[in-house]
Amino acid sequence: MSLWSWFTGLFNADGTLALDVAIGEVAGEVFYKELAIEACINLIANTVARSEFITYEKGKETRKNNYYLLNVEPNQNKSSSKFWRDVVYKLVYENECLIIQQGGMFYVADSFVSLKYAFKENIYKNIVIENYELKDILLESGVFHFELHNEKIKTVIDGLYSSYSKLIQLSSANYKKNNSRRGVLNIPSSYPQTEAAQKQLQDLLSVKFKRFFDAEGGAVLPLSNGMSYTELESNVGSKTSGSDGRDIRGFIDDVFDYVAIAFQVPPQLLKGNVADTEKAFNNFLTFCINPLAELLTDEINRKLYGKDKFLERTYVKLDTTRIKAVDIKDVANALDILTRIGAYSVDDSLRALGMEPLDTSWSKVRWMTKNYQRIEELAGGGG
């Protein structure tokens, strides 16, 4: 192949030069992006799985079939925690998730085809669950179809990462270059050209030099036939820019930060930083988990219960207030105040602590201290 043929082969059909040609193909760096995405999805899924679906009938909390399906066993093959992790994973990673009800149980679709319409119900067909394809064609009213965004977040992240992966690769190459040993081997012109001498030279270059460079302690390099080796200046052990790998860590941190922002997850939670954890977790609940909980419950209420039941206060609510682990000492004063003003009963306080309510007549009674009076009495209406 001629030099001109090699050079022209580097260009695309449209005459542009691909960036990968200039700096090499990206291989392992893609795992940083996948690690960040998986960490976000796991954090969101685990948080949602710690929530509780509370079911109400005419305004009163109940525990019947729907409560069991949503909180314990959606179907015979999955627990609720595994089921909702699968739902959140598909919802976040693929931007949508389809759940069908079959035989009184819920199943997550692995794949499906949707036909969307403006003034009539959407249609879902070619639904596959655990490698089994349903022959049924289902209408919108017969499924739970969750959609997270108008555009797949992962697609946006992929576009961002296509540039950052190049920077990470270049920084890695620069790190290896700055932390490698280099030298000059002087071979005299009188070195024998026999086959045996050439084999000895090859053994010196490929075996003995490798052992010499890889040695952790002291090492000796035997040279013969007038050869000499001179070590060149190296950045090994120095603190020059990029020589300690901090440039690489900085780029990887940027990838985690951008992925976290895309999923509305505080970056410090994703990376395990302890600074301002309380504030970060509250933001995580407010801007990520609570909107997701509302998305899930809205779809379940309109499909499983419907308008008439919902208006008579028969519905489901995903309670995210019990996600945080609480110390009794931290909430004791707040529970006392809520009890004194009649906002909480004993059972309410036990639920807030993650404990089972007593469910007795006296534990459901609300109390109020005698210090509180009606406003009109203070204004003179009561004497």
Q: Are 89 and 209 within one domain?
A: no
Co-location of 274 and 175 in the same domain: yes
Same domain, 248 and 211: no
Residue 99 near residue 87 (C-beta atoms within 8 A): yes
Shared domain check, 188 and 176:
no
Q: How many domains does the chain have?
A: 3
Domain with 295 in it:
22-95+148-180+237-325
* Residue 248 burial (CB count, 10 A): 20
Q: Is there a single domain that holds both residue 257 and residue 357? A: no
Judge if 208 and 256 occupy the same domain.
no
Closest CA to 28 of 169, 157, 190: 169
Q: Please indicate, yes or no, whether residues 45 and 72 belong to a single structural domain of this protein.
A: yes
Is the pTM higher than 0.85? The answer reads no
Query: pLDDT value at position 271?
Result: 80
Gap between the terminal Cα atoms of the chain: 109
Same domain, 154 and 273: yes
Of 167 and 232, the one with more pLDDT: 232
Please give the Cα distance from 189 to 51 (Å, whole number).
79
Mean of the per-residue pLDDT values for the chain? 79
Out of 307, 325, 343, pick the residue that ends a domain. Answer: 325
- Report d(CA 310, CA 8) in Å as an integer: 68
Say if 346 falls within a structural domain. yes
Answer yes or no: is 229 within a domain. yes
Identify whether residues 220 and 250 lie together within a single domain.
Answer: no
Query: Model confidence over 198-234: pLDDT tens digits?
Result: 888 888 877 777 777 766 666 677 787 778 877 776 6
> Does 59 lie in the same domain as 168?
yes
- Does the structure show a pLDDT above 60 at 29? no
Tell me if 131 is assigned to some domain.
no
Same domain, 153 and 273: yes
Q: What is the pLDDT of residue 340?
A: 85
Place 111 in a pLDDT band, splitting at 50, 70 and 90.
very high
Tell me if 123 is assigned to some domain: no
Query: Looking at this protein, which amino acid is placed at residue 358?
Result: L
What is the band of 235 on the pLDDT scale with cuts at 50, 70, 90?
A: low
Residue 136 included in any domain: no
Give residue-wise pLDDT tens across range 41-71: 888 888 888 889 999 999 998 999 999 999 9
User: Considering the chain, what percentage of its residues have pLDDT values greater than 90?
Assistant: 30
Residues 270-309 pLDDT 10s: 887 767 788 888 899 999 999 999 999 999 999 999 999 9
156 and 301 share one domain? yes
Domain boundary among 233, 254, 269: 233
